[in-house]
């Protein structure tokens, strides 16, 4: 199946907009204040630790978004982290990038764009 094939154009447009208007956005289970899954919680804690401003979108509140994001990102699970308009990864990738310093480097690079 081609990416985006089964997705309503309005939904795709809304996702595009969220990703483009926030430097960091996390599609996750629960909210920043109340994560409802350990993987999502880990990502929130990492972003807090690196002091990065970020938005979150609770995919548990919208089943179409939950299904749609898997297709949009071609990634089967949550959290899904977008940085600077691009899909960055899930929890494992975030942990790795945090521990290696790659995340801090990337955030420094895009900070003043
Ligand atoms: N290894 C994954 C862990 C995340 C994961 O396994 N998430 C599951 C359970 S919370 C998930 O989103 N499943 C699909 C769904 O619930 O729709 C990562 O690095 O992000």
Q: Tell me what pLDDT residue 2 has.
A: 54
Kindly list the averaged pLDDT for each block of 10 residues, start to end, along the chain of length 113. Answer: 71 97 98 97 98 97 97 98 98 98 96 80
Nearest residue to 37 (alpha-carbon basis) of 3, 66, 72: 66
Residue 88, domain extent: 9-112
Which residues sit in the known binding site? 29, 37, 66, 78, 91-92
Provide the number of structural domains found in the chain: 1
Any ligand 1 atom below 6 A from CB of 31 = no
* Complete DSSP assignment for 88-104: EE-HHHHHHHHHHSHHH
Element (H, E) at 81: strand 80-83
CATH number for position 34: 3.40.30.10
Instruction: Look over the chain and give the mean of its residue pLDDT values, rounded to a whole number.
Output: 95
Dump pLDDT digits (tens) for 78-98.
999 999 999 999 999 999 999
- Strand-pair category, 55-58 with 24-28: parallel
Q: Per the structure block, which two tokens stand in for 77?
A: 């699970």
Model-level pTM?
Answer: 0.95
């Amino acid at each position: 199946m081609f990416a985006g094939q089964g997705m309503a154009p309005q939904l795709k447009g809304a996702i595009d907009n969220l990703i483009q208007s926030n430097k960091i956005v996390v599609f996750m289970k629960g909210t920043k204040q109340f994560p409802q899954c350990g993987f999502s919680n880990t990502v929130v804690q990492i972003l807090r630790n690196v002091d990065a401003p970020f938005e979150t979108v609770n995919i548990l509140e919208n089943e179409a978004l939950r299904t749609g994001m898997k297709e949009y990102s071609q990634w089967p699970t949550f959290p899904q982290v977008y940085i600077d308009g691009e899909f960055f990864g899930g929890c494992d990738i975030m942990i790795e990038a945090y521990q290696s310093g790659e995340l801090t480097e990337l955030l420094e690079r895009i900070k003043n764009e």
